[in-house]
């Protein structure tokens, strides 16, 4: 579909490029023009959208998610991580079917769209079901394996890695495992061999709690970051989720290997896991992206809330109101999230990039006056400002309405049916 968006404040997220008044043109699933109205090419449009001075920018990238857990939202709250995980979450997950994960992933996708999220980095059970949900909704997702001692397998990881390997497609897959504490040393060594076989990045939960790090040191004589690096798991990049308890050596390893730290402040606060050392990692040049984590631990899949928490908690942790600026945070939520997922074609608004974009409504009280639009987005923005979410050149959400092929009420009913069956 050929779409012209005009009369827009365009925020491309390209380095050192300011917001400007202009147009964004979309042909099929790619951006064909970003620039001023004066230089815009003429064409025949199937739809023309007057932005009315609102912001058009790249969609947010949710760099860590567990979409299939929407049935467990507000189900097992107010518990510490390991009790929450072992006594509540794992037993419920054992009851899930692929059909459950398919429908529950659709519910998460709806929430992502309302928050301006155009891609999620999803680690969960049954990737085939997640992939089908994304394709059926027209949503972009990158999946990471969640191998552990009791689910998934090396054969499945290889199968998924080769099956979902189309850089032009909506769905892609990366190697991954749940965590050090749910995998044997033998598992980790085999994963390292897979990394080297495919020259592929790898992704995992890491250093989320003090107990996790202490346990790893007891078992292996080093922190999770140091252990993974010693095995060669980081030789081709990847991501570590949470990164709350990081030593100076850990941070140096992350920077040297180009490993992205994906911070999840909402989940870490709710589970009382701690506050990640964002400023320390930034000072060493570590890539940092932002994730919501899953709806069972957060419980809200809202990038605006996460962005504010990233900067707010950093300021408190460092006792420095200047720590982690709005510009840095917005980059984490967009460009750095694309880096974490290997989405080089979906990071900024530029000709030839995927048409994964959002329009934010500035004609709301929380966005006025327009002293600084980027700071408004990070410090006072909210889901109410998301006017339009486009993925792969298709509008999937606009003015409160979803265009994902399934009525919203049908998805809500299915999610409630699933959790009632599982209780």
The structure tokens 């739809």 sit at: 47
| Contacts of the segment 184-189: beta carbons below 8 A, 24+ positions apart | 184/149, 185/220, 187/147, 187/148, 187/149, 188/227, 188/228, 188/231, 188/233, 189/231
pLDDT at 313 over 90: yes
Between 345 and 86, the higher pLDDT residue = 345
Query: What local confidence, expressed as pLDDT, does residue 13 receive?
Result: 98
Torsion of the alpha carbons at 348, 349, 350 and 356, rounded to the nearest 10: 90
pLDDT of residue 106: 98
Query: Could you tell me which of 264, 247, 267, 213 has the C-alpha nearest to residue 81?
Result: 267
Question: Would you report the helix, strand and coil content of the chain in percent, each value rounded to 5?
Answer: 40, 20, 35
Task: Count CA atoms closer than 13 A to 87's CA, side-chain side.
Answer: 9
Query: Does 216 score more than 80 pLDDT?
Result: yes
Distance of CA 37 to the CA centre of its chain: 33
| Residue appearing with tokens 């006025």 | 368
What SS3 class is residue 205?
strand
Break the chain into its structural domains and give their ranges: 2-59+345-402, 60-341
Joined tokens for residue 21: 């008044």
Determine the Cα–Cα distance for residues 185 and 216; give it in Å rounded to an integer. Answer: 11
Nearest to 210 by CA among 223, 227, 229: 223
Instruction: Check residue 59 and give its pLDDT.
Output: 98
H-only helix segments in 66-201:
81-83, 90-93, 98-114, 127-137, 154-163, 185-198
Question: Is the confidence at residue 178, as pLDDT, over 90?
Answer: yes
Give the gyration radius of the chain's Cα atoms: 21
Mean pLDDT of 325-344: 98
pLDDT at 305: 98
Question: CA 379, CA 279: separation in Å to the nearest integer?
Answer: 18
Q: Is the dihedral of CA 70, 295, 76, 183 positive or negative?
A: positive
Q: How many DSSP H helices and E strands does the chain contain?
A: 16, 17
Mean pLDDT of 94-100: 94
Same fold, 2-59+345-402 and 60-341: no
**Chain position carrying tokens 């809330």:** 305
Residues 6+ apart with CB under 8 A from 201: 174, 175, 195, 236, 237, 238, 239, 342
Mean confidence (pLDDT) of the chain: 97
Q: What is the pLDDT of residue 409?
A: 98
Lowest mean pLDDT among 74-78, 179-183, 291-295: 74-78
Residue 41 tokens read as 């090419």
| Per-residue pLDDT tens digits for 124-172 | 999 999 999 999 999 999 999 999 999 999 999 999 999 999 999 999 9
Distance CA 192, CA 111 (A): 35
The residue-averaged pLDDT of 334-352 equals 98
pLDDT for 70 = 94
The band of 244, judged by pLDDT with boundaries at 50, 70 and 90, is: very high
What band does 407 get if pLDDT is binned at 50, 70 and 90? very high
* Residue 180 scores a pLDDT above 90: yes
> Given this model, what pLDDT does residue 217 score?
98
269-288 pLDDT, tens digit each: 999 999 999 999 999 999 99
Number of other CB atoms surrounding residue 422 within 10 Å: 17
Residue 79 has pLDDT above 90, yes or no: no
Residue 86 has a pLDDT of: 87
pLDDT the model gives residue 267: 96
Sheet holding 171-177: strands in order across?
A: 60-65, 117-123, 140-144, 171-177, 202-206, 238-242, 260-263, 288-290
Counting residues of the chain whose pLDDT is more than 70, the rounded percentage is 100
Question: How far is the first Cα of the chain from the last one, in angstroms, to the nearest whole number?
Answer: 44
Angle between helices 98-114 and 408-422 (to 10 degrees): 130
Give residue 197's pLDDT: 98
Beta partners for residue 55, in sequence order: 9, 360
| CA nearest to 287, candidates 339, 235, 346 | 339
pLDDT over 90 (residue 290)? yes
Q: What length does the chain have?
A: 423
- pLDDT band at 85; cut points 50, 70, 90: confident
Supply the pLDDT for residue 423. 84
Q: Are 413 and 421 in contact (CB under 8 A)?
A: no
CB of 288 closer than 8 Å to CB of 339: no
Assigned superfamily of 60-341: Metal-dependent hydrolases (3.20.20.140)
User: Residue 76: which pLDDT band, with cuts at 50, 70 and 90?
Assistant: confident
Q: In whole angstroms, what is the distance from residue 83 CA to residue 81 CA?
A: 6
Query: What is the predicted pLDDT for the residue at 300?
Result: 95
pLDDT at 81 over 80: no
The values of phi and psi at residue 196, to 5°, are: -75, -35
Domain range 2-59+345-402, CATH architecture: Roll (2.30)
């Amino acid at each position: 579909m050929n779409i012209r968006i005009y009369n827009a404040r365009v925020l491309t997220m390209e380095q050192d490029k300011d917001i400007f008044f202009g147009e964004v043109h979309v042909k099929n699933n790619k951006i064909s023009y970003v620039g001023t109205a004066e230089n815009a090419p003429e064409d025949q449009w199937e739809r023309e959208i007057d932005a009315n001075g609102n912001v058009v920018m790249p969609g947010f990238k949710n760099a860590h998610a567990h979409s299939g857990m929407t049935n467990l939202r507000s189900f097992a709250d107010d518990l510490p991580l390991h009790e929450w995980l072992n006594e509540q979450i794992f037993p419920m997950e054992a009851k899930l079917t692929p059909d459950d994960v398919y429908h529950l992933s659709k519910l998460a996708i709806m929430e992502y769209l309302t928050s301006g999220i155009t891609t999620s980095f999803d680690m969960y059970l049954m990737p085939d079901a997640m992939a089908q949900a994304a394709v059926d909704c027209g949503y972009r997702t990158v999946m990471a394996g969640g191998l552990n001692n009791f689910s998934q397998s090396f054969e499945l990881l290889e199968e998924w890695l080769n099956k979902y390997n189309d850089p032009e497609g909506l769905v892609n897959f990366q190697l991954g495992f749940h965590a050090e504490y749910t995998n044997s040393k033998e598992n980790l060594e085999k994963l390292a061999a897979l990394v080297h076989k495919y020259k592929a990045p790898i992704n995992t939960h890491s250093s989320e709690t003090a107990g996790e790090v202490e346990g790893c040191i007891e078992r292996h004589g080093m922190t999770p970051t140091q252990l993974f690096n010693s095995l060669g798991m980081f030789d081709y990049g990847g991501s570590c989720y949470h990164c709350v308890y990081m030593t100076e050596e850990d941070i140096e390893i992350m920077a040297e290997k180009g490993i992205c730290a994906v911070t999840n402040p909402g989940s870490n606060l709710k589970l009382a896991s701690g506050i990640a050392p964002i400023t320390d990692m930034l000072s060493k040049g570590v890539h940092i992206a932002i994730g919501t984590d899953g709806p069972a631990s957060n419980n809200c899949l809202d990038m605006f809330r996460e962005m504010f928490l990233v900067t707010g908690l950093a300021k408190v942790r460092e006792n420095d109101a200047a720590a982690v600026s709005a510009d840095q945070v917005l980059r984490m939520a967009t460009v750095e999230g694309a880096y974490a997922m290997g989405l080089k074609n979906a990071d900024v608004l530029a000709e030839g990039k995927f048409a994964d974009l959002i329009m934010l409504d500035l004609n709301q009280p929380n966005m006025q006056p327009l002293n600084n639009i980027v700071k408004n987005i990070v410090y006072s923005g909210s889901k109410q400002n998301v006017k339009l979410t486009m993925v792969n050149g298709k509008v999937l959400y606009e003015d409160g309405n979803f265009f994902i092929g399934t009525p919203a009420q049908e998805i809500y009913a299915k999610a409630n049916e699933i959790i009632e069956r599982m209780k």
